[in-house]
Amino acid sequence: MQLIVDDWFVITCLSLSMIAIWFGARSLRQRERNQIAVWTAAWGVGISSLWFHLFRINHIFDRARPLAEDAATLLTYVRTDQSFPSEATAVGFAFATAIWIGNRRAGIALGFLAFLWAFSRVYCGAHYPADVVAGALIGILTSFLMYFIWRILKFAPNSFIRLMQWVHLA
């Protein structure tokens, strides 16, 4: 469980899966769907993080982390910022949801990884259950919002993918 609790393990897995999904497809149509899903995931994760850092939504709710209130065995370092909502869960679910929109099979696998990450955050005492539920909702809603924005503004992801094809990266 300590491996999943670590902030860097899941992020590394998500990043590597982003590369695999970008390049891995059997047909040209599926590859384009995957690439739009990765594009949406990158923006979804970025906007989800922006909610936390620019608008500082976790400072609106002044709630200490469970480890700050109880003495427990630590599986990870002690965090000093606010607990509600969980940014790690928002990032994981934003990524999984955006990939699920373009590739159901990969999205389900990444959704399971995001769920494990959310569960581990509660298990290790970094968050309360309500924190990860709120973070998951923020991530899911942000990814759907980004998907609908990209459907309206199709030129942005399509132009990026065409540029990547021109330099042989897509």
Which residues lie closer than 8 Å to 71 by C-beta, 6 or more apart?
Answer: none
* Alpha carbon distance 133, 140 (integer Å): 11
- Which of 38, 152, 43, 52 lies closest to 103, judged by CA? 38
What is the rounded average pLDDT of the residues 2-24? 80
Q: Residue 84, by phi and psi: left (phi above 0), alpha (psi -120 to 50) or beta?
A: beta
| pLDDT, position 96 | 92
pLDDT beyond 70 at 17: yes
| pLDDT, position 66 | 65
* Alpha carbon distance 92, 45 (integer Å): 8
Q: pTM for the whole thing?
A: 0.76
